[in-house]
Structure 1
Amino acid sequence: MELRHLRYFRAVAEELHFGRAAERLHIAQPPLSQQVRQLERELGVSLLTRSTRRVELTRAGEAYLRRTIAILDAVDDAGHQARRVAQGLEGHLWIGCVGSATYSVLPRLVRALREQLPQVEISIRGEMLAPAQLDALRNRDVDIALLRPPVDDPAIRTEHVRRDRLMVAVPSAHRLASRDTLRVDDLRAEDVIAHAGQDRSVMGRLLTAMCADAGFVPQIRQEVSETSTLVTLVAAGLGIAVVPAPTADLDVAGVTYRPLEPATLGVDLVAAHLGDAAPPAVERALEVLRGLAL
């Protein structure tokens, strides 16, 4: 039995006329009759009663037609879904994101994806440091990673999303909170809350490099992986922190943000994904991301 036997039977059963069914299927009538009889012989039942004036379904034929319609519709739906998945219009997309972008870029991106790709299910892994995101990309645990460069793996492609200015998060009662702007040298005597160590965080390496250029080593009191935890510790008065500007969107009570001078001090955000191995929905999602005014 082949799908064509089911399609032939369905056409005859719905038309109740071999001639009209043959026209509908764009085949000659004799082969159609032969194929339906072959199906009946294989099943061992009569699906149709035939006379010179009419064709009717038997009870067995009525039951078989209901199942045939369900089978053929499911096959057609499967093909339609496969084409939509291949076109990136349906499927499942996992997005990883660094902490600061979790509170700024990510909400806008997810809203746009839901509007423009409603059949693509979106799952989020937020508050991920860049090394963890790169590992997740390689392991195919995420499909798109919003992270801070550099990315040195040739199998991973990146495209620039935006550049974020650096800010200093200070307790609102801290003496530095009264200043309009701060410079790196202002961190010299302060306890600092930092993103997790140099080997695990772009921001941690950046902090160390900036302070080294200014001639001192930062007094790191605590290291944390999550940006939300870092800001909470600042609010508790345990130290100050250097963060990308979007972190201010957290709006945690007791924290004041001041720009770090010079204004050229900043950190890039890129969208990273596996090259040729990326799911089709990735390029669709990147098109949506490019269309956002960030």
Structure 2
Amino acid sequence: MNLDHLRYFQAIAYYEHYGRAAEALHVSQPNLSYAVTQLENELGVPLFEKQGRGVRLTRYGRRFLQSVTQSLQILDAETRDLQELGCGGGLVLLGGIRKLAAQMVPELMQQFLAQPGNEHTRFELHTESSFTADLLRAVAEERLDMAFVNHPGDEALFESVEFRRSPFVIVAPPDHPLAQKSSVTLRETLPYPYVYFSRRGGLRRPIDELFQKINARPQIAYETEEDTVVAGMAAAGFGIAIVPDHPVLQCLNVRVIPLTDPDPGRTAYLCRKRGSLHPEGAARFFAFCKTRLEV
């Protein structure tokens, strides 16, 4: 069984006629007949039966056609991918937390593809569960080439590009004692209960680090994972919260209060696995992002 015989079989199944299939393939009709005979001898079942001047698939042939079609599609797709890799492109598997994957990452992809020499590169953008830990695990397991995340993970395992993001702010219900302030320090928030990020969320670590800078701990009343849920619970009066400044906050019934001390600036990271064999397109995209993003 060889590749040409499988393609001949697929063509005969499509045209239901040896002559038309031979013409389309630019081969002789005896070559097609020989290929089908070889396949039938190897499989031990008839693949075609006569129908007037043409042929039609037997039930064995119909079953075999499904497998042949799927196999050839996979083989052709992989061939295209490898040819693109040979041209310096190929498929780049990206991951990202949703806030970055919704706008910043697509913009970087578009800018990269607009540069000469990158036209053979294709992207897949995955958010997994949108948690940094899950995305870093996918990078470590080489299911992703790189990921845009909230913290850089194990430095021995990941190579990272650090870049700035929008700062943290305090959100509080409109009737909260802090709501009338034009700005607030983190120490001023200590008397009040917090809706806080759970340890599973990627924002827990940088917010913990803010409190460590003032040698204090927040009063945690509730914990959850997503920043929009944290802000929504604050709007409902379950406590104040520290969240990234984002336009979506304007849609909630909360006061958004600038945080002045400690420095509320925050960072995110583009991470890839150290020592991994990266496609040339992925390596070029990582270098491109490094020049555009690095702090």
Secondary structure, counterpart of 2:93 in structure 1:
strand
Give the Å deviation of 1:184.
0.7
Q: Which residue of 1 aligns with 2:271?
A: 272
- Inter-partner Cα distance in structure 1 for 2:214 and 2:77: 64
Q: Which residue of 2 aligns with 1:227?
A: 227
Q: Deviations over 1:3-36 (max 9, x none)?
A: 9x9xxxxxxxxxxxxxxxxxxxxxxxxxxxxxxx
Q: Which residue of 2 aligns with 1:67?
A: 25
- Inter-partner Cα distance in structure 2 for 1:287 and 1:177: 44
Secondary structure, counterpart of 1:145 in structure 2:
strand
TM-score (norm 2): 0.62
Q: Note if contact 1:91-1:119 (Cα within 8 Å) is conserved in structure 2.
A: yes
Give the Å deviation of 1:234.
1.9
**Which amino acid in 1 is paired with 2:154?**
D
- Inter-partner Cα distance in structure 2 for 1:293 and 1:140: 23
Give the Å deviation of 1:259.
1.8
Q: Which residue of 2 aligns with 1:185?
A: 187
Q: Which has the larger radius of gyration?
A: 1
Q: Note if contact 1:104-1:249 (Cα within 8 Å) is conserved in structure 2.
A: no
Give the Å deviation of 1:158.
0.9
Secondary structure, counterpart of 1:168 in structure 2:
strand
Q: Note if contact 1:128-1:226 (Cα within 8 Å) is conserved in structure 2.
A: no
Q: 1:104 to 1:191 in 2, by over 3 A?
A: farther
Give the Å deviation of 1:209.
3.9
The question of 1:169 aligning with 2:171 is answered: yes
**Which amino acid in 1 is paired with 2:24?**
R
- Inter-partner Cα distance in structure 2 for 1:85 and 1:133: 24
Secondary structure, counterpart of 1:128 in structure 2:
coil
Q: 1:96 to 1:215 in 2, by over 3 A?
A: closer
Percentage of pairs with the same residue: 19
- Unaligned runs of 5+ residues in structure 1 are 6-59
Secondary structure, counterpart of 2:282 in structure 1:
helix
**Which amino acid in 2 is paired with 1:262?**
D
The question of 1:105 aligning with 2:107 is answered: no
Q: Deviations over 1:48-102 (max 9, x none)?
A: xxxxxxxxxxxx8985352159xxxx999976652213445332523122x5435
Give the Å deviation of 1:183.
0.4
What count of residue pairs does the alignment treat as equivalent?
233
Q: Which residue of 2 aligns with 1:148?
A: 150
Q: Which residue of 2 aligns with 1:159?
A: 161
Q: Note if contact 1:167-1:257 (Cα within 8 Å) is conserved in structure 2.
A: yes
- Inter-partner Cα distance in structure 2 for 1:203 and 1:79: 41
Give the Å deviation of 1:114.
7.1
The question of 1:137 aligning with 2:131 is answered: no
- Inter-partner Cα distance in structure 2 for 1:111 and 1:231: 31
**Which amino acid in 2 is paired with 1:172?**
P
Q: Which residue of 2 aligns with 1:125?
A: 127
- Inter-partner Cα distance in structure 1 for 2:231 and 2:88: 38
Give the Å deviation of 1:202.
5.0
- Inter-partner Cα distance in structure 2 for 1:249 and 1:80: 41
**Which amino acid in 2 is paired with 1:270?**
Y
TM-score (norm 1): 0.62
Secondary structure, counterpart of 2:220 in structure 1:
strand
**Which amino acid in 2 is paired with 1:64?**
A
Secondary structure, counterpart of 2:164 in structure 1:
strand
Cα RMSD over matched residues? 3.9
Q: Which residue of 1 aligns with 2:49?
A: none
Q: Which residue of 2 aligns with 1:85?
A: 85
Q: 1:109 to 1:227 in 2, by over 3 A?
A: farther
Q: Note if contact 1:94-1:141 (Cα within 8 Å) is conserved in structure 2.
A: no
Give the Å deviation of 1:140.
2.8
Give the Å deviation of 1:243.
2.1
Q: 1:273 to 1:177 in 2, by over 3 A?
A: same
